[in-house]
Amino acid sequence: MRKDGTFIAVEVDDALAGDAAVAAKLAEVCPVDIFADAGGRVEIVEQNLDECVLCRLCLDAVASDPTHPVRVLKLYEDGTAL
């Protein structure tokens, strides 16, 4: 799944989006509420996307997964990944 804001886009691997533990962790760590736990599924809160402070906490929360299931893309830098 992917949602685009004006300045950033966030991608979450579809297989990971249904993991209740990951949904809870992403919702917990994001200081600007880009992620929500929607009944055990990751939800990207579109209206909060451009509030991202590029803190990397969401990336660190899933860092042990070698597939890099969460990506933050800087649209103002041609989609460069954070």
Give me the CATH number covering residue 62. 3.30.70.20
Cα angle 75-44-74, degrees, rounded to a multiple of 5: 15
Of 56, 58, 55, 61, nearest to 45 (Cα)? 58
pLDDT digits (tens, 9 = 90+) for 18-56: 999 999 999 999 999 999 999 999 999 999 999 999 999
Q: What percent of the chain has pLDDT over 90?
A: 89
Residue carrying structure tokens 């990971």:
16
CA atoms within 13 A on the CB side of 32: 13
- Work out the mean pLDDT of the chain and round it to a whole number: 94
Domain count within the chain: 1
- For residue 6, the enclosing domain spans 2-81
Cα angle 29-25-30, degrees, rounded to a multiple of 5: 25
